[in-house]
Structure 1
């Protein structure tokens, strides 16, 4: 997802295995905004990166099913992940960590082995097995369950960063590799955002949308892809099987009040496959779905400029 309006001051840098982009309506806030964004993403990485042995979420395994204290940040991120799982009937599930490892996504994507043997897929244990007490900030993760916040973690970080930076007194857009959150007053005419398979570069025919508030998120199977067990695989897993979802939709973009809600819905739509367009429409979520056959379906009042 790419902002196409040139006027707002902009900062961009690599973070969380993707590109972080910050736009603000007030140039005087850019330096402080970038500082807040960098600091916030560093906190997120330390709290729930699956690719750091010393991250807080990876250390939960040492508790072997016993209650573990967690930081306020991880408690909030886990709560968002569990709420997203419940809202999508488990189609987005943070207990898919082992399934991701089995598919070969066991390190930062830039370092993923381009091919290798793959064990037989196994369904995810189920998000309902994770017990989180937000009041005491304690979590129980069953022994052997590996958590992965890939379907909500960047979106949560975008929501959190946008809200913090907007407190500087300006309008803000934060994009983390296709997960885009806004806060504060938008620029005149709104934020113009290009939508496509790849957030890094526009393709001919990619539509443009106007965002005045809320969030936009795109889930796609075309970008983080590699080979495993002699077949093409990607980073979106069906928790019901522990394997890839049926190849119905290649890219889904959803608008919602929060980036967590938007990304959870977009990912769930890819996992759901057939009927995902009707599901999103019934939820009242503006969305654009692109099939593996190239067909484009829009629902929920989706409007684009091209």
Structure 2
């Protein structure tokens, strides 16, 4: 990062939250904005909290339900991602992810679950959700469990970065796990970001780095949020077409885009697509770096070589 920048890190929403500012004197303001955003989005979107708005929505499935403007926007973002990816990113994967054993915050997850595996099945489908964004009203079909994990964290990074930049009047970077968003005036040479793909490596200086001055960068991994389920290695990304994890072709996929949520949607779609990801990312002109399970690196659409 820029040597003048100040930064802080803390645990939130099951991951490491980081905020960096170009004016260290504005750090307290920026951190307060980030914490407020994460708290509000967790209260609205967490499927692990019985008191979250999305959990209460599950209890009202089958009938029109009024929802907050924040959850309305979160659902709109998720449905847009589903539409743009042709359903490769689908918010109705909640039951499938739960059946794989991801039924609580990752920090509290049993990493060696012995419960019998549930046979996978295609997810219900995002098109079944009827959202009236103007009226803040949604109809969720009975039996559908929502999981906004593929979009909500990246969207939170976008929102927090924009709000913090506005509140501080300086450049801001927000990182939430592998989701990074920047806003405001960037450092002279952009925000330098390490793009790691080997989570066993302890020296980040060995990782390649890129610089961005606007938008977002996301990295999705099949090794970071992974665990055992009935003796089988599984991870948090589900193929909506099968309700199971996709074939493990890529260890990580990193993408830059106009927003962090668009970048994250693309990385998730690429993991699901497997061998077809290169052509899909090239067709959509999304700069990307893909690392295969055996460590080979592929770059597309202008992503610089390591």
Please give the range of the TM-score, normalised by the shorter of the 2 chains. over 0.9
Match of 1:179 in 2: 179
DSSP 3-state at the match of 1:277: helix
Aligned to 2:121: 122
String of CA shifts for 1:232-259, please: whole Å, max 9, x gaps: 0000110111101011111000000001
Q: Who is 2:83 aligned against?
A: 86
Aligned position for 2:4: 7
3-state secondary structure, aligned to 2:36: helix
User: 1:28, 1:88 → 2: CA distance?
Assistant: 41
Task: Write the mapping of 1:13-32 to structure 2, written as runs, cut at 5 A.
Answer: 13-32=10-29
**Does 2:55 correspond to 1:74?**
no
CA contact (8 A) 1:196 1:202 kept: no
Mapped to 2, the partners of 1:235 and 1:64 lie a distance apart of 25
CA deviations on 1:82-112 (whole Å, 9 max, x unpaired) are: 0001111111100000001100000011221
CA deviations over 1:157-196 (Å, ceiling 9, x no partner) = 0000011001021111000001000011101111100001
CA distance in 2 between counterparts of 1:5 and 1:235 reads 33
Q: Closer, same or farther in 2 for the Cα pair 1:202/1:277, shift >3 Å?
A: farther
Whether the aligned pair in 1 keeps the contact of 2:194 and 2:204 (CA below 8 Å) is no
Q: State the Cα distance separating 1:7 from its structure 2 match.
A: 3.0
Question: Does residue 1:61 correspond to 2:58, yes or no?
Answer: yes
User: What is the alpha-carbon distance in structure 1 between the residues aligned to residue 82 and residue 91 of structure 2?
Assistant: 7
What is the count of residue pairs matched by the alignment? 302
Whether 1:253 and 2:254 are equivalent positions in the alignment is yes
Please give the TM-score of this superposition, normalised by the length of structure 1: 0.96
After TM superposition, the structure 1 = structure 2 runs for residues 162-173 of structure 1, keeping only pairs within 5 Å, are: 162-168=161-167, 169-173=169-173
**1:218 aligned to 2:219?**
yes
Asked if the contact 1:178–1:199 (Cα under 8 Å) also holds between the matched residues in 2, the reply is: no
Shift of 1:6: 3.9
Q: Which residue of 1 aligns with 2:264?
A: 263
- The alpha-carbon distance between structure 1 residues 203 and 34, as it changes in their structure 2 partners (threshold 3 A), is closer
Distance 1:237 1:64 in 2: 23
- Aligned equivalent of 1:239: 240
Contact 1:194/1:202 (<8 A) preserved = no
| 3-state secondary structure, aligned to 2:16 | strand
- Residues 122-201 of structure 1 mapped to structure 2, 5 A cutoff: 122-168=121-167, 169-197=169-197, 198=199
Instruction: Report what 2:273 is aligned to.
Output: 272
Q: Distance in 2 between matches of 1:273 and 1:6?
A: 38
d(CA) in 2 for partners of 1:32, 1:104: 38
